[in-house]
Amino acid sequence: MRATVGGAQSDFRLSLPRLLGFSTPGFCVGALAIALGVYLPRYYAGHFGLGLPLVGLAFSVIRVGDTLLDPLIGVWMDRTRSRLGRYRIWLALGVPVLLLGVYTLFEPTGGVGVGYLLFWLLIYFVGASLITLSHASWASVIAANYNERSRVFGAIQLMGVIGAAATLILPIAMAKHDGSGGRGDVPAMGWLVIISCAVGVALALMTTPEHVITEKRGETYKLRDYWEMVSRPDMARIIVADFCLALGPGWMAALYLYYFHDARGFTIGASSLLLFIYVCAGMLGAPILSVVATRIGKHVTLMGAAMVYSVGLVVQSFAPKGAFGIVAVMMFALGFAASCFPLLDRAMVADVGDAIRLEKGKNRISLLYAMITTTQKLATALSIGFSFTVLGWLGYQAQDGATNTPAAILGLQLVYILGPIVFVMIGGACFIGYKLDGKRHAEIRRGLAIAEAMSVEAPILESLSGDAGAPRPAVGPA
pLDDT in tens, 308-344: 999 999 998 888 888 899 999 999 999 999 988 887 8
Q: Is the pLDDT of residue 255 over 60?
A: yes
Q: How many residues does the chain have?
A: 478
- Please tell me the distance from the alpha carbon of residue 448 to that of residue 247, in angstroms, as a whole number: 35
Same fold across 16-211 and 234-450: yes
Who has greater pLDDT, 11 or 416? 416
* Res 65 pLDDT > 60: yes
Higher pLDDT, 254 or 213: 254
Are the CB atoms for 30 and 160 separated by under 8 Å?
A: yes
Confidence (pLDDT) at 117 = 86
**What pLDDT does residue 35 have?**
80
Does the structure show a pLDDT above 90 at 72? no
Gyration radius from the chain CA atoms:
23
Give which of 476, 420, 436 is closest to 353, Cα–Cα: 436
The answer to whether the beta carbons of residues 60 and 385 sit under 8 Å apart is yes
Percent share of the chain, pLDDT over 70: 79
What is the structure's pLDDT at 146?
Answer: 63
Instruction: Give the pLDDT score at 45.
Output: 66
- Does pLDDT of 463 surpass 60? no
Asked if the model's pLDDT at residue 163 lies above 80, the reply is yes
98-110 residue pLDDT tens = 999 999 988 887 6
Indicate the pLDDT class of residue 46, thresholds 50, 70 and 90: low
- Interval 241-260 mean pLDDT: 85
Please state, for a pLDDT cut of 90, what percent of the chain lies above it: 14
Predicted confidence at residue 226, as pLDDT, reads: 64
- Lowest-confidence pick of 1-10, 111-120, 281-290: 1-10
pLDDT tops 70 at residue 425: yes
Across 260-285, average pLDDT = 83
Mean pLDDT of the chain: 78
Mean pLDDT along residues 75-87: 75
Q: pLDDT tens for residues 362-396?
A: 777 767 777 777 787 778 767 766 776 777 777 77
Rounded mean pLDDT, 184-206 = 88
Burial (CB count within 10 angstroms: exposed 0-12, middle 13-18, buried 19+), residue 176:
exposed
| pLDDT mean over 190-197 | 91
pLDDT tens by residue, 128-157: 888 988 888 888 777 666 667 777 877 887
Q: How does residue 41 score in pLDDT terms, banded at 50, 70 and 90? A: confident
C-alpha–C-alpha distance, residues 428 and 413, integer Å:
23
Distance CA 397, CA 411 (A): 11
- Residue-wise pLDDT for 204-248, tens only, equals 988 887 765 555 554 555 556 667 777 788 888 999 999 999 888
Superfamily of structural domain 16-211: MFS general substrate transporter like domains (1.20.1250.20)
- In the predicted model, is pLDDT for residue 468 greater than 50? no
For residue 335, what are the CA distances in angstroms to 199, 332, 406, 417? 27, 5, 29, 15
For position 175, what pLDDT does the model report?
Answer: 56
pLDDT for 214 equals 53
Q: What is the pLDDT of residue 89?
A: 86
Q: Rounded to whole angstroms, how far apart are CA atoms 437 and 435?
A: 6
Per-domain boundaries in the chain = 16-211, 234-450
CATH superfamily of 234-450: MFS general substrate transporter like domains (1.20.1250.20)
How much is the average pLDDT of 41-66? 71
* pLDDT the model gives residue 467: 40
Give 429-444 pLDDT, tens digit per residue.
999 988 888 888 888 8
Query: Comparing 96 with 114, which gets the higher pLDDT?
Result: 96
